Structure formats: C-alpha cells, structure tokens
A and B are shown apart, each in its own frame.
Chain A
C-alpha cells in the first residue's frame, strides 16, 4: 500500500508506503512501513521508493569529479577543502610521480583545483587525484556553491541548462559533483551567471525551470525578450524543447536517477581548452 504520489513533498518521519515496496535512498524501514528520513521529493521507480533531498552535504564517492580548494600543505600531500564534511588529501605522488619537488611551488594555499576522487576508505579518508582530462588548477574566475543534489538540475537534460547559460553568457563553467561551480568570463557576465545559478538552486524543485531561466538570461543580458522568441526556441533548443512538450516537465526527471550518466557528458566537452 502506498501513501504518497510521485514527486510529492515529504518531511522526515512521514510514512510513505507499506509492504510490497522497497526502501531506496532517503528512506528507512520500520516494521512494515517505509518512512522518509529527509525533507524532499518522493521518487517512485517500479516498486522502489526513495526521497530526493532538497538540501544535502556532499559525501565523497570514488570516481566523482569535484572542485576543491587547497587549504593545507603538509610534508608530502596537500589538504583540500572539497565542500564536504570530509576534507580531501592530494598526495604529492599523484602530481609528480616519483620526482621530488617543493610542494608549495606547485599549488599554493587558496588555489582552486579540479580533481577526481581516487579513493574513499572506511574512515572516510578521501584521496584525490589529478589524472584525467581537464584536471588541474583553475586560473581566476569565481566559485559559486550550490547544494550537491541540485547539480543534475543545473546541468539539465543532456546538458541543456548549462549549455544554454554558457551560450548566452559566454562564460566557461565547470560543475563539480560536490556542488561547487567554477565560472570564468567577463566580470559582469560572471555575476549574471552566479545569480542565475543561485536562482536555479532556489527553484530547482519547480517545473518549467529551463524556460524561465532562458527568459531571465535574455532579460539580464539583452534587456528584453527576443521578438522571434518562439522561433529561436525551436531552432536553438529544438531537441530539448520537443522533449519538454512531451514531458510537460522539462528536466525534472533529471534531478532524480538520471544523475550519473547525465553528469559525465557535459564535463568532458567542457574542459577542452580551458587551461
């Protein structure tokens, strides 16, 4: 028996279902009942019921790509703040192999890096690495932080949201799975991008967001909505748009389980030629 509908808002302790359902993320089982452990939105997939949190902290996972800031230099490693309850370490061996160099000459405290989580052990020691395309140090730019559960929403279906922002603001944008977003471009555009990202975070749980963000971007940058708006929608965001019509709820699904697969793509493209 089920007590809630898909995408319904629930609070911690609310009873979601009984018997023939499986507890997923954000839920727990008590006797026969499945209850929510978070404040968030219900996601129903077959018989699996889970709750997608509206706010969360980043828990490091092996293989994730994250943005971190150097906050400590030790004998043979850097301490990295990755916007999580657990700080990461970047061993010197990951950076220059067997060679011996002065650590502080390579990365200084305050440097912002794009990293991959190499390993997380049982005591939550997070080992980071720089191997992989596009990994390395960011120069200039600003950092925006959003709650990690909203990262898929910022990227959108097949990167629709993030590519739209990039096209319009001509900023370089890199999104880490830990909820940090690096933005570099024109100073004014950086600020506009920051505001738009914050807006997406605040309204991530509402539907029809891509369209509203598009209008907002046009207003902020051109000062007016394009006259041939309908046309430009079809041509520029045609693919994405046609899906919206079918779905009636553009990139909502995306904030759920599509998560991992969707995340990978935009990243690799993005990093060509940044550094």
Chain B
C-alpha cells in the first residue's frame, strides 16, 4: 500500500471557488431515504445531487449472471436529462456504461457476497444534478446505500478525485476545473486497509505529479469516509 505523508505538498494558494488546493467541496450524505429500496443514500457534494438505491441480495432473475459459489452485483449509473446544462439524451451512452462498469468493479472487492450464492445485488445511481466528480460521488453514495441495505462488507469504499489545474495539483475538481484543467485522477479506496479499488487517469501528468495527485486523492477519500460513517450513524440516532 502506498501511504505518503502529504503535509507540505500543497501551498496556500486559493482556487477560483475560494477553496484551498487540498480542500474538498462541502459534502452532505443522508442514508436510508428511499422507503421501498433495501438500502439507499442521498449525497450532495458541491453542485452534485446524487441518489443511490440498492436492492437485494435477491434471486437472480438473469440466469446467465448467476454464480453457484457467490453473489453478483450489477450497477447502473444514469444521468437525468436535466442534470447538466445541455439536455442529456436519456438512456445509456458510452460514458455511463463505462461508469457503471467501473463502479461495480470498485465496489465488488469490499463486499462479502460469498454468503449469498446464486443471488444478485442491484445498485442504481441516479445523477439528479451534475457538477464534476460524479463517478467518485456515485461510488461513495452507493457504498453508503449498500451498508444501509445490511449487505456484509469488509469496508466502505469511498471515492475522490484529484487533478491538475493551472499547473497545480488540486483535490476534488469541480466541473469547471475538470474542463479547463490538464488532468483528472479519480481514485476509490477502502480506507481501513488503504487498498485502491479504482484508479483512472485522464490527461497529462508527470510521474511526480501523478504520485502527488494520488496521495492527495487518498487524503480526500479519508475525509469523505468520515462523513459516510456519520451519515449511517445519524440514520439511527433520533
């Protein structure tokens, strides 16, 4: 596992929206808000509004997916047509199919589905409003929803992105920074062990910059992980 102390890698410069280079956007997570789903979560980070719902483990209605030794997960990431400035054409496209796949793969290592052979868990991530970093936020929300559904897991997966904007490595890119910046590195980890379950990199980074971005993203993940735990606790504390 890579753990590098990241104290003095960021300066005190401010970004366009007034955040420090290593500051995440204001974050709010609420667990268990959909009554009919087995588990659910609502997440707001910056201008993102995301709903995640989990159903299952339930009988696999798709025979070919069924595995006799373990349970399987399926994930669907979907953006609402009104979630972005230009209307998004409804239905799955190349991007949302990719995100569905990487979300399922980022979350799968944390789940202990061997206890539910021949079953299936469905995750639905609906982006109601998008403002950059939806794939990481989607993973974070899905993880809370899975815990809320009572599905056994090793750890709660948490996602956060880092990137390069105006030559500086910054944490948790907003939509504008993502578009104008030079690079974007979404990362998902299991915070207790530090295992990385998702790592993508889009844009140009030198090796040093990439290391710096990865460390920064991991730090961000750890901050978000605390909010995740808080969200679950709040659900049961009146």
Q: Does chain A have a CB within 8 A of B34?
A: no
Q: B38 an interface residue at 8 Å Cβ cutoff?
A: yes
A35 within 8 A of B: yes
A interface footprint on B180-194 (CB within 8 Å = 1, 0 otherwise): 000000000011110
| B155 with A86: CB separation less than 8 A | no
Most chain B CB within a 10 A radius of its CB, from A12, A30, A40, A85: A12
In the bound assembly, the distance between CA atoms of A27 and B136 in angstroms comes to 27
Q: Which of B59, B119, B149, B237 contacts A55 (CB 8 A)?
A: B149
- 12 residue pairs bridging A and B, Cβ less than 8 Å apart: A11-B233, A28-B112, A30-B154, A30-B193, A37-B112, A38-B150, A38-B152, A54-B150, A55-B149, A57-B57, A57-B58, A86-B59
| Contact call B149/A11, Cβ cutoff below 8 A | no
Judge if A26 is at the interface, Cβ distance under 8 Å: yes
CB nearest to B233 among chain A residues = A9
A39 and B147 contact, CB distance less than 8 A: yes
Tally B residues with Cβ within 8 Å of A.
35
Bitwise, B60-86 to A at CB < 8 A (1) or not (0) is 000000001001000000000000000
Give A26 to B110 CA distance when docked, in angstroms: 14
Q: How far is the CA of A40 from the CA of B147 in the complex (A)?
A: 10
List of A residues within 8 angstroms of B233 by Cβ: 9, 11
Question: Which residues of B are found within 8 Å of A38, using beta-carbon distances?
Answer: 147, 150, 152-153
Q: Are B116 and A13 in contact (CB under 8 A)?
A: no
- At the interface, yes or no: B229 with Cβ under 8 Å from chain A? yes
Asked if A55 meets B238 with Cβ closer than 8 Å, knowing A13-B192, A28-B154, the reply is: no
B interface residues (Cβ-Cβ under 8 A, vs A) = 38-39, 56-59, 68, 71, 110, 112, 115-119, 147-150, 152-156, 190-193, 228-229, 232-233, 236-238
CA distance A231 to B148 in the complex (A): 41
**Interface digits, A46-70 against B, CB 8 Å rule (1 contact, 0 not)?**
0000000111110100000000000
Tell me if B232 and A11 are in contact (CB < 8 A): yes
A85 in contact with B154 given A123-B68, A205-B236 (CB within 8 Å): no
| Cβ contact of A86, chosen from B119, B149, B193, cutoff 8 A | B119
Within 8 A of B (CB), among A1-46: 9, 11-15, 26, 28, 30, 35, 37-40
B57 in contact with A85 (CB, 8 Å): yes
The answer to whether B238 and A206 have CB atoms under 8 Å apart is yes
Contacts of A54 in B (CB 8 A): 150, 236
Interface flags, A109-149, vs B, CB<8A=1, else 0: 00000000000000110000000000000000000000100
State A53–B57 Cα separation when bound (angstroms): 15
Q: Which residues of A contact B117 (CB under 8 A)?
A: 123-124
Residues of chain A with a CB closer than 8 A to B192's CB? 13, 15, 35
Chain A residues within an 8 Å CB radius of B236: 9, 54, 205
| Nearest CB of chain B from residue A253's CB, rounded to whole Å | 19
Q: Counting CB contacts under 8 A, is A241 at the interface?
A: no
Q: Which residues of A contact B152 (CB under 8 A)?
A: 12, 26, 37-38
Which residues of chain B come closer than 8 Å to A28, judged between CB atoms? Answer: 112, 154
B155 touches A12 (CB 8 A): yes
A86-B147 in contact given A11-B232, A123-B68 (Cβ < 8 Å)? no
